[in-house]
Structure 1
Amino acid sequence: MSCSRRNFLAGSGAVIFTTGVATTSVLTSTNSDASADNTEAAKRYGMLHDENACIGCTACTEACREVNKVPEGVSRLEINRSEPMGEYPDVEYRFTRTSCQHCENPPCVYVCPTGAAYKDEETGIVDVHKEKCVGCGYCLAACPYQVRFFHPEDHSADKCNFCRDTNLAAGKQPACVESCPTKALVFGDLNDPQSTISKAITVNAVYRDKVHLGTKPKLYKVPFHKGEV
């Protein structure tokens, strides 16, 4: 059943879904706004990455892979290293995190023709109903951060979901946060002004990627301030 649907999407049927996407976008956006107004107590999980504290050890990526059983060849998060700044022996590197932004206004959700991509209104986490995914690739193409991939084993769309099914379900912090030796990652409820992440965003200068697109990402970053300005 799923194979035939995937083949259908790969062929001429994709044109039909393209027409339906515009309607889905409007309705989903409207419903999300209405839901947000009626669920003031809902959580809104976000993450902060401190580029000054990050040492590029990649303990976070390895912990994510182990806890969430992510196969080799794909990754839910990456730590990217800049070109060297300064002259030897005073050389500095900037390390930036690339992963799902858990957007308030997620393009991946709006273009999904089956409802596989969705935003959980109780937590703000953007996730995937794997059993509904037909592998059309619309969400991969729509994501402006290019952080989605096809899982090589179950062939459904995959990405960071803040360890929702693993650590978070067990009452723990996401694996990347727990494993970071320098405490460069902070996770919590952005709706709670007393949460660690809310306080960290208040006391630090922060930025978010591609905010001009209106996606309202919930991955905040403390900019690297070493080296030349």
Structure 2
Amino acid sequence: METSKRQFLKGCGALIAGISVYTVTKSPLAENANTDASQTEVKYAMVHDENACIGCNACVEACRETNHVPDGVTRVKIERTGPFGNYPNQSYRFNRVSCQHCEAAPCVRVCPTGAAYIDKDTGIVAVNSDRCVGCQYCIAACPYQVRFINPETRTADKCDFCQQTQLSKGLQPACVLACPTQALTFGNLKDPDSALVKLLKTKPTYRAKVDLGTRPKLFHIQTIDGEVML
């Protein structure tokens, strides 16, 4: 009887372990995600301070000029909502809309050619235009709706933190350098001494659509209007 009980419990344990492993390995978003980035010492991210942002669009124009983004499309957009409050005490809210550089990126998972990928050295979600066939699967899969087809190259395009332009020269992204109010902070999540990490430790932030399991790396410091939001 004892032998049978031990065999039964052993079998149940193996079954439970098998279920746990299956749940982890079959995550719909992480299944084909590049996990090499987690083994490096660099994982780039950005913080947008909505309280400091004035909606001037300097970041948008700097990105366009630096990365040669054609008219009619954009890698970065500042959305304005409002006004809130009563005149003359009115305010607007500004939100940065751009690639979230997800750690479990849906666009990477659906790309049939490997053109969409996560750079193993930086964690940046990038596009290899030489491999892109313009199928637009990545555009359909992105829950943030930040990808587009470049009208000149006819390939998928989006923010890449100025990987091929600024970062390759050891510089900060163009949008960060152009911001007159220092509303943008860029850095390495794995560097505890970086301005980015220090900011994240001192200011409450939020990320968009985290319930989808994409693990975005674009953080927002929410606008404080002086009232309790219920």
Normalising by the residue count of structure 1, what TM-score does the alignment of the two structures yield?
Answer: 0.85
TM-superposed deviation, 1:205: 0.5
1:143-154 mapped onto 2 (5 Å cutoff): 143-154=142-153
- Asked if 1:28 is matched to 2:32, the reply is yes
Distance 1:163 1:55 in 2: 22
Cα pair 1:47 1:197 within 8 Å, conserved: yes
Cα pair 2:99 2:144 within 8 Å, conserved: yes
Cα pair 2:37 2:43 within 8 Å, conserved: no
Amino acid in structure 2 at the alignment position of 1:211: V
- Asked if 1:65 is matched to 2:69, the reply is no
Cα-to-partner distance string for 1:156-215 (whole Å, 9 max, x where unaligned): 000000000111111110000000000000000001111110110000000000000000
- Asked if 1:45 is matched to 2:44, the reply is yes
Cα pair 1:85 1:227 within 8 Å, conserved: no
Cα pair 1:56 1:81 within 8 Å, conserved: yes
Distance 1:27 1:95 in 2: 34
Amino acid in structure 1 at the alignment position of 2:165: T
- Asked if 1:115 is matched to 2:114, the reply is yes
Residue 9 of structure 1 is matched in structure 2 by none
TM-superposed deviation, 1:121: 1.1
**Equivalent residue of 2:64, what SS?**
helix
**Equivalent residue of 1:131, what SS?**
coil
Cα pair 1:108 1:139 within 8 Å, conserved: yes
Moved more, 114-123 or 80-89: 80-89
1:206-217 mapped onto 2 (5 Å cutoff): 206-217=205-216
Distance 2:220 2:163 in 1: 21
Distance 1:53 1:25 in 2: 33
Residue 89 of structure 2 is matched in structure 1 by 90
**Equivalent residue of 1:192, what SS?**
coil
TM-superposed deviation, 1:90: 1.2
**Equivalent residue of 2:130, what SS?**
helix
Which runs of structure 1 show a deviation greater than 4 angstroms over 4 or more consecutive aligned residues?
Answer: 24-27
TM-superposed deviation, 1:89: 1.5
Residue 13 of structure 2 is matched in structure 1 by none
Going from structure 1 to structure 2, the CA distance change for 1:66 and 1:26 (only over 3 Å counts) comes to closer
**Equivalent residue of 1:127, what SS?**
strand
Distance 2:30 2:197 in 1: 30
TM-superposed deviation, 1:36: 4.8
Q: Which runs of 5+ in 1 are unaligned?
A: 1-21
Amino acid in structure 2 at the alignment position of 1:102: H
TM-superposed deviation, 1:118: 0.2
- Asked if 1:77 is matched to 2:73, the reply is no
Cα pair 2:113 2:132 within 8 Å, conserved: yes
Cα pair 2:207 2:219 within 8 Å, conserved: yes
Cα pair 2:60 2:77 within 8 Å, conserved: yes
Q: Which runs of 5+ in 2 are unaligned?
A: 1-25
**Equivalent residue of 1:181, what SS?**
coil
Q: Which has the larger radius of gyration?
A: 2
- Asked if 1:164 is matched to 2:169, the reply is no
